[in-house]
Structure 1
């Protein structure tokens, strides 16, 4: 084979460090000829030759970079987009049939875009903007149709709905999601002497029950009740079992089974059995 890729590092499939250095590295990898591509694909399909699959992936990384760059307008890291595209490329190599008569990149482009689409939808907003297949198609098509800042006019909405084969209401709904902005749940409120004009985070609209006297008293009462039941249950254990439970569960620095085994001159398995029996007795006493 006239194309040699064996000296390339497979770690190139995951961008690390400088994106510019990564792009330079993948562009330096020779593009496979149609004959070499067919031979490698058959070696992988027929013999599960992982080296052949590696060479197929490496020789197509440049195309993933090119596709990932077209999604730079979503505010996501280029390295993340490339990495997700590389996942799609690997899936395509696994499923590629060299006997169909098409080049690998023609087949792989759909898998690469699918992985990038999924990543964009999961990370572009905290709240998902598209969950169904139809909404996902509308999301990306609407982003591409928006040639200017601002909201669509009625005529533009009608045109987009007609072009994409969806209702005008669905276009308006998706446009609202696209123009929405995430707000931090507990972001600090803006300082203002006028409460009517101040901006408050969502968390500040929730009622705080932590300082409610009745709730505090009830919580303390229940805690005291459970502590009393635990102390009474502990008194029902023999001295050795009490010490094992205390050191294994209640002390700040927990003792190991071997440490207790050495202290009581028994095996660690015997300590484990004593601990298990003691816990059963405690549970039965507390629930009684």
Structure 2
């Protein structure tokens, strides 16, 4: 999109004032409880317009990754719309804290789907982000001695994307035998592993469904913290500090809620079996 179109958008944005907490609560009540579809839709539009500036603030964090700012904003607005339709007022969480999850998801999904001709499956986004972060933290050099064993279970369907991201050969060495007592992985391809078969993919998909089902039974804030921290549903895994900023909580409070929730999940034998890999991570 052109700078001119962005200017028009921001000019129009000034027409929509931000909402007070009281105004927001009234609109949410109307959206969920009013019998008139016309009135509900009107309240929904007012709620969305009152939070458009917040979408802009989130979208700016993703500039320089392949989409224009206005495209990022448009994708974020789609996420905001989903959040407004799905929000549960009965849960102990602010609307904007809930909405940021959907805004980020929508933006990230669009970014990764439109990188060149390659589409990264949503369930692989968190993996790719950890991959990039691990390389950066180790100097961005594939010859660095780097612990990439965590990526050994991913399939080759994202190998091309990872190679595109780091612009290296996956057959290049990533360390020497002396770096870890002779047990180091010799290439990135070794680490990424071989192509998974169809049975493995079906098993992973079933496990993902079980995790979704279990987390959806949690209070909304606990569910949101785990989803953000572990990078579920195509969202980047998020640090405790960033989660705290989004939810207006301290890093320590987020850590406490996360750990308490995991302990609660582990008390159920059924949950422990369903989420074995997840809870051990």
**TM-score scaled by length of structure 2:** 0.49
Higher relative CO (Cα under 8 Å, sequence separation at least 6) belongs to 2
User: In terms of Rg, which structure is larger?
Assistant: 1
